[in-house]
Amino acid sequence: MLAKLLMTGSTAIFLVLGVIHFAYTFWWPRLAPRDPGLQAMMSNVSPVLTPETTMWKAWLGFNASHSMGLILFGLVYGYLALAHEELLFDSPCLLLVGLAMVCGFVILAKLFWFSLPFWSLCVALACSVASIAVSRG
């Protein structure tokens, strides 16, 4: 039961961060540049890859897809922990993939983001590791 609660806590952090990030992308302009001129420039410049989009549209799309990935991870692993505990905790593959994903997000947060997501994801990592340890013990 403790392993299930710890894993659910870890995945809830991902779900909450994903939902907040999605809202910040589209409804609360928290991810817009502080300089309005930069946003205007991003709206008029295409990436080298293709002229079919702008840097601003790509920025919104990358943030939205990042949010959706966090939400999906939180929902899938949360569902597995709650509804299919045996499947999750008896599968070294699922546990390893999930742990690798959490570690990857912690590294990204440390290298590229700011303190709130970093420390939130560190808590999620601690919960995941503790969950796995408890399930194996």
Q: Work out the mean pLDDT of the chain and round it to a whole number.
A: 97
- Per-residue confidence (pLDDT) for residue 137, from 0 to 100: 85
pTM: 0.93
Distance (Å, whole) CA 35 – CA 5? 43
pLDDT digits (tens, 9 = 90+) for 70-123: 999 999 999 999 999 999 999 999 999 999 999 999 999 999 999 999 999 999
Residue 73: CA count within 13 A, CB half-sphere: 29
State yes or no: pLDDT of 48 exceeds 90.
yes
Cβ contact 102:17 at 8 Å: no
3-state helix, strand and coil shares in percent for the chain, rounded to the nearest 5: 80, 0, 20
State yes or no: pLDDT of 29 exceeds 90.
no
Q: Which helix (H) or strand (E) holds 13?
A: helix 2-26
Return the domain boundaries, the chain: 2-136
